[in-house]
Amino acid sequence: MNDAESRALDDAFLAVVADWSRGGEGCSEAQFDELARATFAYQVGRNGSYARFAAASGFAAGSGSAAGRMPATWREIPAVPASAFKDATLATFDVRGAELEFHSSGTTAERSGKHYIERAALYDASLTAGFDRFMLSDGARLRYLNLVPDPRRKPHSSLGYMMGHVSVLRGDGKAAYFFDDDRLDVAGFTRALEAACAEGRPVCIAGTAFAFAALLEALASSGTRCAAPPGSRIMETGGFKGRARVVERGELYAGLATTLGIAPEAIVAEYGMTELVSQYYDTRASRSAAGPRIKGSPPWLRTLVVTSDGREVPDGETGFLRHVDLGNRSSVVAIDTEDRGYRAGEGIVLLGRESDAPPRGCSLDAEDLLARQSQAAAVPR
């Protein structure tokens, strides 16, 4: 990456991140709007797939007689569906030069989406700033016990990369991974947790909801319980995508509290996507309050709640989440998701992807197909 336009956008983004990390606003609505639209214009000028989609949506790049309409505000930026990363290469650069390449899981595991990131520095900056704010506001140096793939073995797992990065940057140097090839190393995890307990070293246990459910099942069968050192916490993410077995979140958190001695208030649900550079996390206030958990994000990641045909819904109403992430400079700035939720104050409440269509009929459906296809057990993110 050595062109001035790309560097200018990256510099602007990194300045926003740095300001927010120092306690500043990061970016105002006006700054966000300006940067988002500039990023969009930059992307449709360099990414044919996105440009075609934008053109079909009524927006076009270019100048002179070929000039088309451009979004009047960031809210108008056409968002590609997350699945588009399976159908096209959505990058503003030659992906052979990508510093990061993350693959999404797929229900069939045959086609996975690929998110190419030109500069790891953008991802790292966004990740670290968000993690510090939402997971490490007390500045704790923790031991990271990761129920996620080891990034050295699974370099295309965004979740593995994420935990690898924070483990090195914010950990005590004894981080370990206990999830590989869709199998949980329960014995290894138990030993590591016992060692941390013996040392009085607080831990951060990170993993998908599915991995935690499997862990609880295994620990229950062996009758294992422990009390993690004070200051320990959990980062749960990923849900149960692609899994036939689902555990209700409240039940899961109660089980974690009982089995690992980490209170539900110290369990933070992270919400991210392979297709995004930045992440949402449960806010501290909502973790200890009654009612739904509210997710907060750094100011360079903003979300619209829209109808199925893309119209914004009033605050408080449920819709699909559309994310606009300035960190996605080298791919697509606006992503439509299958996730549903609603706006709550400055954050969002995530409702997830549970089917909103009542089960009827005797037709095969995606869930049936999933149950029939053993290869569906892909690691989320």
Q: Which residues of this protein are in contact with another protein, per CB under 8 A? A: 48-49, 52-53, 55-58, 80-81, 83-84, 86-88, 107-108, 110-111, 307-310, 320, 336, 338, 340, 353, 355-369, 371-373
Beta bridge partners of 115: 102
- Cα separation, 162 vs 183, whole angstroms: 19
CA 264 to CA 317: how far, in whole Å?
27
CB 42 within 8 A of CB 34: no
Report the nearest approach of another protein to the CB of residue 373 (Å). Answer: 7
Please, which contacts does 370-376 make with residues 24 or more away whose CB atoms are closer than 8 Å?
370/107, 370/242, 370/244, 371/244, 373/108, 375/108, 375/109, 376/107, 376/108, 376/109, 376/242
Task: Tell me how far, at minimum, the Cβ of 355 lies from another protein, in Å.
Answer: 6
Report the chain's C-alpha Rg in angstroms: 21
The residue (of 30 and 357) whose beta carbon lies closer to another protein is: 357
What is d(CA 214, CA 217) in angstroms, rounded to the nearest whole number? 5
What whole-number distance in Å separates Cα of residue 207 and Cα of residue 132? 18
Q: Let me know if 365 is exposed, middle or buried by CB neighbors in 10 A (0-12, 13-18, 19+).
A: exposed
Residue among 33 and 275 whose Cβ is closer to another protein: 275
Q: Nearer Cβ to another protein, position 141 or 353?
A: 353
Closest listed residue to residue 270, CA positions, set 258, 287, 256, 257: 287
Please, what is the minimum distance in Å from the beta carbon of residue 50 to another protein? Answer: 10
Which DSSP symbol is given to 273? Answer: -
Q: Distance between CA atoms of 340 and 337, rounded to whole angstroms?
A: 8
Is residue 61 within 8 A of residue 44, CB to CB? The reply is yes
Residue among 108 and 190 whose Cβ is closer to another protein: 108
Nearest approach, Cβ of residue 78 and another protein (Å): 9
Q: Is the Cβ of residue 59 or residue 212 nearer to another protein in the bound state?
A: 59
When the beta carbons of 13 and 240 are compared against another protein, the nearer one is 240
CB of 294 to another protein, least distance (A): 21
**Closest CB to another protein among 55 and 136?**
55
> 139 or 314: whose CB is closer to another protein?
314
Burial class (CB in 10 A: 0-12, 13-18, 19+), 175: buried
Nearest distance, CB of residue 136 and another protein, angstroms: 34
Q: How many CB atoms neighbour CB 292 within 10 A? A: 14
Q: How far is the CB of 110 from another protein (least distance, A)?
A: 4
Q: Smallest distance, Å, CB 113 to another protein? A: 11
Complex with another protein: residue 26 or 319, whichever CB lies closer: 319
Helix (H) or strand (E) holding 105: none
Closest approach of another protein to the CB of residue 70, in Å:
16
| Integer Cα distance of 321 and 313 in angstroms | 11
